[in-house]
């Protein structure tokens, strides 16, 4: 969180750390009870009502008793169908790109859009300083449970949280300072070495001196037959989907760059204590996976190298990325991300799947900002 807070201070107008999307709600909706469920969720999780004011130039957490959140309302139902969709997309894109004020908050925006009597869209946007994929899954699941309970005039069915995010932050800091930080830092120093090569992909224009974070999305689906073949391939060789996709990405980068020493960023859940599993918050950490390739290497050898690198990294996943950057002192530039310029992520979040909720069909629709923190970011969603 501290690193993202500092990055926001450097680029307060950047949407690169916005997260969110749309959910289509088909069926009867009780707007008042839905907003009550949303307010109850905000009260349950301190992170949803925590801004980060600056004290002596350093962002600090300030938990508010009231989240100050108001669910906006837009009614496009009187428009013709094409105009409704156009207005919805314009609204969603605007929200995805509108920056947050981390110092004053709130860091969650919610808007309900009426398209027809039994068709609504929920537009949700958060800053990554308070959320990540795992947390979005909790957000969707608990909001649904609260809404169903409030529809039946019942109390919240959710068990009280054993800790809050701030409690976990204090514990993690103390744990790292007890010697764990140095143990993990020694591993990463040995793993990554003293050279930190910049990935040079062939581009159609020179790299700008300062990252604009302006990017675009290219989405495609693997056929069910190919996806099943990949799963069988992984099962036969003891591989995860992440290992296979990382190795595939490394081979592609080697082909186009000709570089034999590649670094790929990888997000890790970093929820090592059971108490953290039900918390909404930015637990996500970033690892740097080193892949060494040459023209004589077989696919099997590359897969085994990546497999072992990922397994070893799992026992050293807690060192905050900014601590690693500070210790390794790689060349710094506003033109690129330090230590790696390409990210690979494989996720299986329930909030991205269609579900039934209190007589409604809820369908998630991705609508991230066309902004990127890296040269390339491969996101694989496994919906099996």
- Span between the terminal Cα atoms of the chain, in Å: 32
* Shared domain check, 172 and 121: no
* Shared domain check, 203 and 330: yes
pTM of the model as a whole: 0.84
* Shared domain check, 191 and 88: no
On whether residue 359 sits in a domain, the answer given is: no
Q: What is the pLDDT of residues 322-337, one digit of tens each?
A: 999 999 999 989 899 9
**Pairwise pLDDT comparison (58 vs 187), residue with the higher score:** 187
Q: What is the pLDDT of residue 367?
A: 65
Q: What is the pLDDT of residue 11?
A: 66
Portion of the chain with pLDDT greater than 70, in percent: 95
Residue that finishes a domain, picked among 106, 140, 160:
160
On whether residue 130 sits in a domain, the answer given is: yes
* Shared domain check, 138 and 68: yes
**Pairwise pLDDT comparison (348 vs 96), residue with the higher score:** 96
Q: What is the pLDDT of residue 92?
A: 93
Token couple for 135: 């947390």
Find, among 156, 130, 132, 160, the residue nearest to 145 by Cα: 156
pLDDT at 143 over 90: yes
On whether residue 356 sits in a domain, the answer given is: no
Q: What is the pLDDT of residues 197-255, one digit of tens each?
A: 999 999 888 899 988 888 888 889 999 999 999 999 999 999 999 999 999 999 999 99
pLDDT at 117 over 60: yes
- Cβ neighbours for 360, distance < 8 A, ≥ 6 positions apart: 25, 26, 27, 28, 29
On whether residue 360 sits in a domain, the answer given is: no
pLDDT at 68 over 90: no
Residue that finishes a domain, picked among 160, 188, 215:
160
On whether residue 363 sits in a domain, the answer given is: no
Task: For residue 251, give its domain range.
Answer: 166-350+368-382
On whether residue 358 sits in a domain, the answer given is: no
pLDDT at 190 over 80: yes
Measured distance CA(39)–CA(42) in Å, rounded:
5
Q: What is the pLDDT of residue 4?
A: 58
Q: What is the mean pLDDT of residues 276-294?
A: 94
Number of domains into which the chain is organized: 2
* Shared domain check, 199 and 58: no
Find, among 11, 74, 1, the residue nearest to 210 by Cα: 11
* Shared domain check, 296 and 225: yes
* Shared domain check, 106 and 92: yes
CATH code assigned at 334: 3.30.559.30
Q: What is the pLDDT of residues 355-384, one digit of tens each?
A: 899 999 999 887 665 778 899 999 998 877
Q: What is the pLDDT of residue 215?
A: 84
HEC sequence for 111-134: EEEEEECCEEEEEEEEECCCCCHH
Residue that finishes a domain, picked among 160, 186, 209:
160
On whether residue 357 sits in a domain, the answer given is: no
* Shared domain check, 140 and 172: no
Q: What is the pLDDT of residue 287?
A: 96
Alpha helix positions (H), the chain? 2-10, 31-44, 81-97, 133-151, 165-175, 181-192, 224-237, 241-257, 299-314, 321-328
Q: What is the pLDDT of residue 263?
A: 98
Q: What is the mean pLDDT of residues 57-66?
A: 83
On whether residue 99 sits in a domain, the answer given is: yes
Q: What is the mean pLDDT of residues 118-131?
A: 94
| DSSP run (H or E) holding 264 | strand 261-268
Q: What is the mean pLDDT of residues 95-103?
A: 90
* Shared domain check, 231 and 118: no
């Amino acid at each position: 969180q501290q690193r993202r807070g500092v990055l926001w201070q450097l680029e307060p107008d950047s949407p690169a750390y916005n997260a969110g999307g749309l959910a289509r709600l088909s069926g009867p909706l009780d707007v008042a009870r839905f907003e009550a469920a949303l307010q109850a969720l905000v009260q349950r999780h301190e992170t949803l009502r925590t801004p980060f004011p600056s004290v002596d130039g350093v962002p600090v957490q300030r938990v508010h008793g009231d989240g100050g959140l108001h669910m906006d309302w837009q009614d496009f139902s009187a428009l013709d169908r094409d105009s409704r969709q156009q207005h919805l997309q314009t609204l969603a894109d605007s929200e995805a790109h509108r920056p947050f004020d981390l110092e004053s908050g709130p860091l969650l925006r919610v808007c309900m859009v009426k398209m027809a009597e039994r068709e609504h869209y929920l537009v949700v946007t958060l800053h990554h300083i308070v959320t990540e994929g795992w947390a979005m899954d909790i957000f969707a699941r608990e909001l649904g449970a609260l809404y169903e309970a409030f529809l039946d005039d019942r109390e919240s069915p959710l068990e009280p949280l054993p800790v809050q995010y701030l409690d976990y932050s204090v514990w993690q800091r103390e744990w790292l300072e007890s010697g764990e930080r140095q143990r993990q830092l020694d591993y990463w120093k040995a793993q990554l070495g003293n050279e930190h090569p910049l990935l040079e992909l062939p581009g159609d224009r020179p790299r700008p001196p300062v990252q604009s974070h302006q990017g675009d999305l290219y989405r495609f689906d693997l056929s069910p037959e190919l996806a099943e073949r990949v799963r069988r391939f992984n099962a036969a060789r003891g591989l995860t989907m992440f290992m296979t996709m990382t190795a595939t990405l490394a081979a592609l980068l080697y082909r186009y760059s000709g570089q034999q020493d590649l670094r790929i960023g990888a997000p890790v859940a970093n929820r090592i204590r059971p108490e953290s599993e039900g918390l909404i918050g930015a637990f996500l950490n970033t690892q740097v996976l080193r892949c060494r390739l040459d023209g004589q290497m077989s696919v099997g050898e590359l897969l085994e190298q990546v497999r072992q690198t990922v397994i070893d990294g799992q026992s050293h996943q807690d060192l905050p990325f900014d601590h690693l950057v500070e210790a390794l002192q790689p060349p710094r530039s506003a033109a690129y991300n330090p230590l790696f310029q390409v990210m690979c992520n494989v996720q299986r979040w329930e909030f991205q799947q269609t579900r039934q909720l209190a007589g409604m069909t809820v369908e998630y629709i991705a609508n991230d900002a066309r902004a990127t923190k890296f040269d390339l970011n491969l996101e694989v969603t496994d919906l099996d």
